[in-house]
């Protein structure tokens, strides 16, 4: 196991990142802010939603395998029930970094998917948000990281 800070740094060192579950209606959806911030901070970011052809004014891909040139890391921002299928697709495509988004509540974290991914050599961050760390962070997310740490919604080790 490694610290969340080390795992987050390794995840964020990847430039090509997919965000699953980016919505056409972003009002209350966690995937959209992650997608937007990664794009703003210079990442080559790809939206994934099987029900959309465009989100945030960008092309949207129906699955990970449809992304030209592939990606190095994936943020899962879908229902937890979809996480295992996404984890298996990541494994098939050789993607070794997966972050299951969670701030409040259960978020996108699936313990089954996390266990499966780790058993298959994937670095899995099962909670928190990429926007709480390093060059993607803002003050609000840094405060959320501190407040959520005792709840275990931001893991200490992954």
User: In the sheet that 97-100 helps form, which strands lie side by side, from edge to edge?
Assistant: 54-55, 58-61, 44-48, 16-20, 73-76, 97-100, 123-126
Kindly give the residue spans of alpha helices, DSSP state H, lying in 1-157.
4-12, 31-40, 83-93, 111-119, 139-148
pLDDT per residue as tens digits for the range 54-98 = 998 999 999 999 999 999 999 999 999 999 999 999 999 999 999
Residue 140 lies in a domain: yes
d(CA 125, CA 130): 10
- How many C-beta atoms lie closer than 10 Å to residue 113's C-beta? 26
Residue 156 lies in a domain: no
Q: What is the CATH number of the domain that holds 21?
A: 3.40.50.720
Residue 118 lies in a domain: yes
Residue 145 in this model has a pLDDT that exceeds 90? no
pLDDT of residue 56: 86
Residue 106 in this model has a pLDDT that exceeds 80? no
What pTM, to 2 d.p., does this model score? 0.92
Q: Which domain holds residue 87?
A: 4-151
pLDDT of residue 138: 80
Residue 75 lies in a domain: yes
Task: Count structural domains, the chain.
Answer: 1
Residue 58 lies in a domain: yes
Average confidence (pLDDT) over 37-60: 95
Whether residue 59 contacts residue 37, with contact meaning beta carbons closer than 8 Å, is answered with no
Residue 103 lies in a domain: yes
Residue 157 lies in a domain: no
pLDDT of residue 62: 97
Average confidence (pLDDT) over 12-28: 88
Confidence of residue 27 (pLDDT cuts 50, 70, 90): low
Given phi > 0 = left and psi -120 to 50 = alpha, else beta, which region is 52?
A: beta
């Amino acid at each position: 196991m490694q610290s969340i800070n080390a795992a987050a740094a390794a995840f964020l060192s990847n430039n090509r990142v997919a965000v699953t579950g980016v919505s056409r209606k972003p009002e209350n959806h966690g995937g959209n802010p992650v997608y937007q911030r990664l794009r703003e901070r210079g990442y080559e970011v790809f939206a994934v939603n099987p029900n959309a052809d465009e989100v945030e004014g960008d092309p949207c891909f129906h699955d990970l395998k449809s992304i030209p040139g592939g990606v190095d890391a994936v943020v899962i921002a879908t229902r937890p029930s979809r996480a295992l299928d996404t984890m298996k697709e990541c494994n098939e495509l050789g993607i070794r970094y997966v972050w299951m988004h969670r701030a409040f509540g259960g978020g996108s974290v699936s313990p089954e998917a996390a266990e499966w991914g780790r058993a298959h050599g994937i670095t899995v961050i099962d909670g928190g948000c990429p926007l709480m760390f390093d060059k993607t962070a803002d003050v609000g997310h840094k405060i959320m990281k501190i407040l959520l740490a005792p709840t275990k919604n931001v893991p200490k080790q992954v």
